[in-house]
Structures are given as structure tokens and as C-alpha cells.
Amino acid sequence: MLKIVLEQRQMLNMVMTTELRQAIELLQLSTYELKQYIQRQAEENPFMELVEKTHHTPAAMSRSSYQKDAANPIDFAASNEKTLYEQLLEQLIDFQLSNREYKLMEYLIFNIDEQGYLKVADEEIKNHAGATNDELARAKEVLHRLEPVGIGAKNLKECLLLQAERKYPGDKLLIQLIEVHLEHLADKKWERISDDLNISLHKVNDLFQIIKTFNPRPASGLMNAKINYVNPDIRIAKEDGKNVFSVSLNDFYLPEIKYNHAYSEKLQGGKELSRYVNSHFKKIEWLRNSIAQRRETILKIMDVIVNRQHAYLEKGLSSALKALTLKEVADEIGMHESTVSRATANKIVETPVGTFELRRLFSTKLSARSGENASQTKVKALLEEMIASEDKYKPLSDQKIAEAFKKEKGIAISRRTVAKYRGELNIPASSKRREIKLK
């Protein structure tokens, strides 16, 4: 038989309050995103007043003080350079084009991708632009005569052929090499090319050196006419004449949050209105406190990072970057790892050795024979050095590199990890690094 029993149980449940959720959200925002968040809060809170600061230093907020007298940050600056599309359209004035032909050329030009290729299928172009086969062929002929050479090609092969035909007209061997042996060239199968074309390795090398002068991405550097300036969230600066780094938060442009007492005093009403006013006042206080807590948390974290990565900030060498994890920082300052993770997310740091994402100063560990830990960044730097000094005629395989790391550097690393790091560094496999050995 089933019985209905009434029991009392004591249970502990963690409830995430609205305030706690918002505090977590604030921690992971960049300074610019925090400013937008504050502005949204002000729109929703009639008692919140924002006072924009007008004269502050870029490195305004440090742990100890809030300094004054400086310029506002520059977020974006427009360049006077013309876009690639504008440059291409201007060149059309040299051709006798009808209205219809010009419209078709516009369609082709505005469909060129960021590398300079026109990858839209012919059928799609004809359908959208209402062009015939002859009109499209004529338009592509005009397009391929524009500068930079190779613009508007459908693929790498056509791009290189356009440059070869323009710069080395009549060199049939060069054309044949690109048309037939481009894959062999990429795989550096020199002997295969030499045998198929019945030419010496010296001649293969000469042709290869010519092709290396061609631009495989003719639109590179020409697509964007706007220069974006990064406004860092954190600044690390070296104190004059000292081997010491100071840290400041670049949040001087955040507005000052004030409570509008004058407006609240004008309101008269009962308990409902009083509760309404008090709740909005508490939200303002919470926001102020959360921003102060966010600032203090970031500065505590930065103290640990600067202390650990002092050598890197001094020299700027990847090999000087020490292994450092989020958990190590969290343990040192007595916080949870997730707090450190949120506080370091989406942050840009300006340092004496460059401006980059804050997370770059963290690096996972790889065990070393000395008992110390090698950072992932340091291993990558060593990998680059090892490949740079290898025998170019007999490049090291990933397995050989892994063995060399263990034997010469005392670092245990697998072949698969070597391949992964090599890929992240955009270094080709050994078969594609092999140079021509001329006899």
C-alpha cells in the first residue's frame, strides 16, 4: 500500500541572484562594452545621471589614484586611400564601354573577394547580370587587363597565369609549368618536374624563383580603406630608470555615475513610490560597487601576470614567455579559476613590447627534463628556430622534430603536437619545405 507521508528536509541550494549574474557579466566585458552597459542602465533608471569626463589621462585609473588632464581616445580614423573597388572602377575609363558593359563590369568588380578572386560561377553571373556568353567573355578580358595584375582570376592557377603572360610573354615553359605542374610545384617534387619537362634542375629552380615573385593574393592590402585603432583596456608601462612595470586601467572615458537627488525629491507618494525609488537607488549603488570590484579584481590579476611575465615584457621574445595558467593566477590571489577566466576575457593590453589580447600572456605547460615547465609559446618559438636552421634539402619530419625536442631540449612533445603547432605557425610539412638541390 502507498502511504502519503509529510516530512521536513533541510537542503542547501545555491541561488544565483540577479545582482550576482550582473556582476559576472560586468567582469567579462571590455571597457568599451562596459561603457555601453552603463549607458543602457542609465536609460532604464530615471534616477541615474551620467557625467562625462572631459580631461583625463589615457592611463587614468590605477589602484591608487585617478589622474587628470589628457586627451580623449581615438577609436577610429578614416584613411584617404581609395578602396580596391574604387581603384578598379576608375581604370574602366580607359576602355570604350557601353552603359550595359559598364554595369556588367561593376557586377564583376563588386563580386571580387578579399584575396582578389572572382569565384562566382559564370551561369550565376549571366543570370544575375542578364549577360550573354560573348558579353561575359569580353568583360572578363577587360577585368584581367586591370591592375593589380591577376585581379579577378577564378583560382590560383589562373591568377599566376595572368601574371606570367603579362610579365613574361612568350615564355612557354613558364606557362606550361603553371598549367600542368602547379601541384608538383607546391609539393616541391623537383625531380618529377625536371623529368616531365625534360629540363635541368637549374632551369626548374630559375622558373620557380620567377613564380615566387608573383602575388597569389592580388587584393591583399587593398581591400580596406579604413584604419582601425585599438583602444586598450589595460596599460603596462615601465617606470623611468627602473626595472619595474606599473599597471593601470584605461577606463578614464567611463562616465561618472551619480544619483539624481533633485529628481527623487520632487516625487511625492506613498509606500509604492518609496519602494520604487529605493530599488533604483540600490541598483545605482550596486553598479558603482560592481565596477569598483571589477577594477580591483583585474588589477590583482595583472599584478600576478606582470610579476610572472617580467622577462617577456622586458625583452618581447616569445621564448621568454613563461608557462602560466588561469588556475595558478586564481590560486595566488585566492579567487576561483572561472573568475580569472572572465576577468581576462575580451581584454586588450598595451605593453612596452606591443598591444595584444591579454590571454597571450597565458600559456599552457609542457613538461621538461629539468623539472621546470616549458610554455606552449616557448615551444613554438623553439620549433620555429629548429625549422629555420634545418637542412633545407632534407627538412625534418614532425617525428624527427619531436625526437630532437626530447633529446636536445629535454621537452617531451608528441609528433601530433608538433604538427598542430606547425600548422598554427603556418609552417608547411617537411615535403613542402624541401629546396632544390642543384648539382
| Residue ranges covered by each domain of the chain | 18-72+232-357, 84-212, 364-432
Query: Cβ of 219: how many Cβ atoms within 10 Å?
Result: 20
Query: Between the CA atoms of 303, 309, 315 and 316, what dihedral angle is there, to the nearest 10 degrees?
Result: -100
295 DSSP assignment = H
> What pLDDT score does 78 carry?
45
> CA Rg, the chain, in Å?
31
Can you name the residues that pair with 368 across neighbouring β-strands? 411
Tens digits of pLDDT across the chain (439 residues): 566 766 666 665 544 566 667 778 899 899 999 999 999 999 998 889 999 876 544 444 444 333 333 334 444 444 456 788 889 999 999 898 999 999 999 999 999 998 999 999 999 999 988 899 999 999 999 999 999 999 999 999 999 999 999 999 989 999 999 999 999 988 888 999 999 999 999 999 999 999 999 999 998 866 554 555 678 999 999 887 778 899 999 998 899 999 887 766 666 666 777 888 888 888 999 999 999 999 999 999 999 999 999 988 988 877 778 888 899 999 999 999 999 999 999 899 999 988 989 988 887 655 555 445 567 777 888 898 899 888 888 898 999 998 988 888 888 888 898 898 898 888 988 888 888 777 6
Identify the three-state secondary structure at position 237.
strand
Tell me the C-alpha distance between 173 and 204, whole Å: 10
Pick among 1.10.10.60, 2.40.40.20, 3.30.750.24, 3.40.50.300: CATH of 364-432: 1.10.10.60
Can you name the residues that pair with 373 across neighbouring β-strands? 367
> What pLDDT score does 6 carry?
67
Q: Which helix (H) or strand (E) holds 59?
A: strand 56-61
